[in-house]
Amino acid sequence: MLVAGTAASVGLAFLNEQGRLGSRSNLQPAMAEAGSLASVATPSTHGVLAASRDAVTRRVGHATLIGIAALVVAAAIPATIALVGNLGSPRTAESAVAGTSARPTLAGAAAGSGWEDAYAAAVPSASDRGAALIAGAAEQRKIDTLIALDAWGKREAAAKSAAAARGQTLQAASAPARGAAQSLGRASGYGVGTVLFARITIYGCVGAGGGFCGGMASGIKVFEGSAACSTDMAFGTRFKIEGDPTGRTYECLDRGHLSSPWVDVFFYDTADGFAWASQLGSTSANITIVN
């Protein structure tokens, strides 16, 4: 009823405005037309009233239709704007394609929050990102420190190796030359094949415990294959040592304060002598006279 009344009022106002502007009799205001009809001479008063009533009815009907049309147009404008806005929304387009309602499925404060809320929930907070950056920086510092320590260790090892090589070079340059093998060619005083159980030691020219680089008591310069023997073995006595890894024949050409029987085998480098004694496996062994 309220809509119809409003539509009729709008229509009447529109028709009356048109009636004032027009000059034709059918465009006169509704009430004025009714009055003009009343002034026309008719044979019957009932006919005049009926004609007036019909004219008013027609005017009211026309006005109602025009008013309704105006209301429809007025209501369609905001509806059209809202439709265009909803079509521009991603959620509305997705709902339209899927054939479902665009209403949010979430409840409570999160209902209708949209992709902005989902993005905000997925992205770490500023404090979390800051903590991750700090942890990453600390880890990178640790890695850099380890890399620096490794490089420093390698430089130190290279420097030590170079220093050792220089030391060996200097030692070799300053060390006395190795003596050449010689023999006195004398008899031992023992029968060939005589076996003596003797104490076995080593001495040398260079290396730990070295320093014996010159001439021996026999006047011959030390060389590998010579030995200092106890006094019970004359200069020139030649012998082999049981279990000797080198299988060498030694000759007594030097003398020492040694208990009998004892042989002190010469090595140019005492390191080689210690390795030889380790392979021999004992500080005592049988020796066999060969001359």
pLDDT tens column, 75-106: 666 666 656 555 555 454 444 444 444 444 44
- The residue type of 194 is T
- Which band of pLDDT confidence, cut at 50, 70 and 90, is reported for residue 275? very high
Type and span of the H or E element at 238: strand 238-241
| DSSP codes, 102-151 | -S----GGGTT-HHHHHHHHHSPPHHHHHHHHHHHHHHHHHHHHHHHHHH
In this structure, are residues 265 and 273 in contact, taking their beta carbons and an 8 Å threshold? yes
Q: How far is CA 21 from CA 58, 59, 63, in A?
A: 20, 17, 17
Domains contained in the chain, CATH given: 2-87 (no CATH), 195-289 (2.40.40.10)
Predicted confidence (pLDDT) at residue 176 exceeds the cutoff of 90: no
Query: Is 0.85 surpassed by the pTM of this model?
Result: no
Omega of the bond prior to 124 within 30 degrees of 0, cis? no
- Which band of pLDDT confidence, cut at 50, 70 and 90, is reported for residue 28? very low
- Which band of pLDDT confidence, cut at 50, 70 and 90, is reported for residue 239? very high
Query: pLDDT digit string (tens) for 190-218?
Result: 999 999 999 999 999 999 989 999 999 99
- For the ranges 36-45, 52-61, 211-220, 253-262, the lowest mean pLDDT is seen at 36-45
In this structure, are residues 194 and 287 in contact, taking their beta carbons and an 8 Å threshold? no
Q: How far is CA 202 from CA 182, 196, 266, 278, in A?
A: 19, 18, 6, 11
